[in-house]
Amino acid sequence: MPVHLAGDYLDWLLAQGEQGLGVHVVTLNAEMTMLAKEEPRLAELIRCAELVVPDGSGVVWALNKSNRTEIQVSRCPGIELVTNLLPGAGQRRWRVYLIGAAPGLVQALAPEWEKKYPGLQIVGTQDGYFTAGQESEIQANIARTKPHLILLGLGVPKQEFTIQRWRDAAPQALWIGVGGSFDVWTGAKERAPQWFRDNNLEWAYRLYKEPWRWRRMLALPRFAWHVLRSGVSS
Ligand code: UDP
């Protein structure tokens, strides 16, 4: 029987956030999985995250292939998880901190979101191009504003390692790495049309729009090959 896990993630995250029980959410895709195979620190970080959601269709395919139970895992793209979390965060008057993307983007998003999600309080914004020297000031600001939710869009694995370094500044918060989602939320970039998403071809659309990604995207066939070779069977 298919299980729709996305709703479960939301309820759980809202409950954790309400109680101040910190969570690091990793949104896992094939590219990140292959990177983790070469980078033990990243692999360890993923293992230690309180929640790992299957962001990419490759990961969903691999999980369902290896699944010995009746549970059908469905895709949970990080961008959708966060978009669906925001109304509940607003109802609970959560303090939210936005970090990442080119200068000006999250600053522009803050008033938009406060209007769109009544109750939401954006307590801090920071573009993603800060220097090492600025880090302690940003952490101090995070500690001072006590956010319930912190979104970092710095790309993989930079955002994951940054969360690891900064987490003590707000141990009570939900920390979520959102990759390039700020570019989509602000309209700076377009997400793949629904048809591509429904047919597990979001990667192809991305490759068409951003051909310079081809080298990084070689991770996808390598991932598939690795899954098949490791003898995972249905
Ligand atoms: N970015 C950033 N700081 C950096 C490098 C990247 O804020 O030092 C941002 C970049 O502007 C973009 C996002 O991180 O908004 C990365 O997007 P991408 O789609 O490459 O993310 P991924 O594929 O890793 O999820």
CA 94 – CA 146 distance, rounded (Å): 10
* CA atoms lying within 13 Å on the CB side of residue 16: 20
String of b and e for 176-199 (b: at least 16 CB within 10 Å)? bbbbbbbbbbbeeeebbeeebbee
Q: What's the angle, vertex CA 86, arms to CA 179 and CA 141, rounded to 5?
A: 65
Question: Taking a C-beta distance cutoff of 8 angstroms, is the pair 24, 170 a contact?
Answer: no
Q: Which helix (H) or strand (E) holds 63?
A: helix 57-66
Residue of the nearest CA to atom 10 in ligand 1? 101
- Domains in the chain: ranges and CATH: 9-224 (3.40.50.2300)
Residue of the nearest CA to atom 18 in ligand 1? 180
Q: Can you give the pLDDT at residue 120?
A: 98
Local confidence band at 6 (pLDDT 50, 70, 90 cut-offs): low
Task: Say whether pLDDT at 4 is over 50.
Answer: no
Pocket test for ligand 1, best of 55, 154, 160 (most atoms within 8 A of CB): 154
Q: Can you give the pLDDT at residue 130?
A: 98
Q: Can you give the pLDDT at residue 1?
A: 30
Point out the ligand 1 atom lying closest to the alpha carbon of residue 206.
Answer: 19
Q: Give mean pLDDT, residues 14-43.
A: 96
Point out the ligand 1 atom lying closest to the alpha carbon of residue 153.
Answer: 14
Report the separation in Å between the CA atom of 1 and the middle of ligand 1, taken as the mean of its atom positions.
37
**Rounded to two decimals, what is the model's pTM?**
0.92
Q: Can you give the pLDDT at residue 33?
A: 95
CA 53 – CA 149 distance, rounded (Å): 17
Ligand 1 neighbours by CB, cut-off 6 Å: 100-102, 128-129, 153-156, 158, 179-180, 182-183
Point out the ligand 1 atom lying closest to the alpha carbon of residue 32.
Answer: 24
- The token duo for 205 is 């659309």
Amino acid identity of residue 164, one-letter, is: Q
Q: Can you give the pLDDT at residue 7?
A: 61
Q: Can you give the pLDDT at residue 132?
A: 97
Question: Taking a C-beta distance cutoff of 8 angstroms, is the pair 151, 78 a contact?
Answer: no
Q: Can you give the pLDDT at residue 144?
A: 98
Task: Say whether pLDDT at 97 is over 50.
Answer: yes
Residue of the nearest CA to atom 1 in ligand 1? 154
Q: Can you give the pLDDT at residue 173?
A: 98
Q: Can you give the pLDDT at residue 38?
A: 94
